[in-house]
Amino acid sequence: MKRLRWNLAAALLLNGASLLAQTAAPEVKVGSKSFTEGVILGEVVTQLARSSGVAALHRRELGGTQVLWNALRRGEIDVYPEYTGTLRQEILAGRSIPDDEALRQALAEQGVRMSRPLGFNDTYALGMKEQVAEQWGIRTISDLRRRPELKFGFSSEFMDRGDGWPALRDRYRLPQRDVRGLDHDLAYRGLDSGAIDVTDLYSTDAEIRYYRLRVLDDDLRHFPAYDAVLLYRADLPERAPQAVAAMLRLEGRVTAAAMIEMNARVKLDRVPETRVAADFLGTNFGLSTAAKEESARDRFFQNTRAHLTLVAISLTAAILFAVPLGVWAAKRPRAGHAILAIVGIIQTIPSLALLVFMIPLLGIGNAPAIVALFLYSLLPIVRNTYAGLHDIPLSVRESAAALGLPAGASLRLVELPMASRAILAGIKTSAVINVGTATLGALVGAGGYGQPIFTGIRLDDVGLILQGAVPAALLALLVQGLFELFERLLVPKGLRLKPAA
């Protein structure tokens, strides 16, 4: 019953949100994960599809594997770049998949098709400074056995992974004892300064070019293959055959060197992905695709509108729902405990997890973000409404009853006005939390100020991070100021006075 009501509420919000989002429907929707390589490939695919004369939209930086996979299955995107290793390890984990043909078969059962490999394998690898590797004559991981004195520094993830350091050491019988876990970025700097000699990396990392690293050959085939492929919906070839044909021209055409170069241009040279993708298509396919780049101003207004949409819809819905819920909690003590416990528990769910939970139910875009923000906004409002009503002295409540005022009128004329300050304070708290949390909406494709923040984090671009963080902080302050103004207008003057006697 409760679930039904949630779904209903969600469906209502979803309708409102999709109305806002609906413009001319593109024929092909391309998705990409929140990391540079994914965004570049997404952009390449989008421009290829467009070159076939099809209207294509790139929904970039949608989050992680689960988000993209669910969005693909629900038809919110039609195609996105993925890796065979990820499919095996995360999406089809637990199934026995001996080769790519079996993988293709397993995906087909879910209505998803997989292209042939695009040409590069973005797997874990070990890397050293070119100069150091040359000095010791190291080309393969097996070569490391001859140099026990080398210092290893690995990312914490690699230290713990099933196919990470312990398995690698056993497989190659590596003798090194000076092995430490550290942050990935620090590891690169450590290599540069000579504090460590070897680190883990992805075989197409931009830093390979920047730091002049040699990627050691995995001669015993320890690391699983992470061949880049395109995943697309089985119904896409019927809907847009020419677009699929155009996209599949990428098969076998993207080399590791080309990918490293593209990653480096975006990450290190700060060239926009659209331009890098257009240059790649120009060089390799002789296509001249128009890389249309938005101005920072356009982006800012777009993000502001998206952010305000998320906040306004979710907060309004939360107020309309949470105030009556708080009243109910205050009036029915037994139900009240349950209500406060439930909204309290919702608050303890990490916001990212809540967003991801929403995706199977609501897909990507505004709907999951609005529902998650709505849920997050409940607790402060419910709790303050409850506390505001609960703290009204018994003498006042009895005086209202003794006058012969019915319960409803007592609530409207006496209790809610007396609790108004607490209720407004709760709404203010919710609004400020909401403005901040809404930045996470960018992870599920809802846009907003989170978009430049996450892009900035991905590209290590502080300027870009500030383009999102500063307006978000200002908006939070503005909202806070606005509610302080409301407080002056809405809280009765008598409640703001200090008692005289």
Residues of this chain that interact with other proteins (CB under 8 A) are: 393, 395-396, 398-406, 409, 413-414, 417-418, 420, 492-495, 497-501
Residue type, 356: V
Output the DSSP codes for 78-132.
Answer: SEEEEEHHHIIIIISTTS---SHHHHHHHHHTTTEEE----S-B--EEEEEEHHH
Question: Look-up: residue for tokens 């407080």?
Answer: 487
Cβ(45)–Cβ(277) below 8 Å: no
187 vs 389, beta carbon nearer other proteins: 389
Enclosing H/E stretch for 425: helix 416-437
489 vs 500, beta carbon nearer other proteins: 500
117 vs 388, beta carbon nearer other proteins: 388
205 vs 415, beta carbon nearer other proteins: 415
Cβ(424)–Cβ(472) below 8 Å: no
DSSP-assigned beta bridge partners for residue 81: 230
Residue 340, classed as helix, strand or coil, is helix
Backbone region of residue 130 per phi and psi (left: phi > 0; alpha: psi in -120 to 50; beta: other values): alpha
Least CB distance to other proteins at residue 391 (A) = 12
290 vs 409, beta carbon nearer other proteins: 409
Least CB distance to other proteins at residue 498 (A) = 6
Q: Tell me the pairing of strands 28-31 and 56-59.
A: parallel
Q: Tell me the pairing of strands 198-202 and 124-129.
A: antiparallel
Least CB distance to other proteins at residue 422 (A) = 13
Least CB distance to other proteins at residue 426 (A) = 18
162 vs 494, beta carbon nearer other proteins: 494
105 vs 399, beta carbon nearer other proteins: 399
Least CB distance to other proteins at residue 404 (A) = 4
Least CB distance to other proteins at residue 376 (A) = 30
286 vs 494, beta carbon nearer other proteins: 494
206 vs 491, beta carbon nearer other proteins: 491
Least CB distance to other proteins at residue 488 (A) = 14
Q: CA–CA separation, 374 vs 368, rounded Å?
A: 10
Q: Tell me the pairing of strands 179-181 and 198-202.
A: unpaired
CA atoms within 13 A on the CB side of 442: 28
Q: CA–CA separation, 409 vs 387, rounded Å?
A: 20
Cβ(36)–Cβ(458) below 8 Å: yes
Least CB distance to other proteins at residue 410 (A) = 10
Residue 254, classed as helix, strand or coil, is coil
For residue 460, how far is the Cα from the chain centroid? Answer: 16
Residue 487 burial (CB < 10 Å; 0-12/13-18/19+)?
Answer: middle
Least CB distance to other proteins at residue 405 (A) = 7
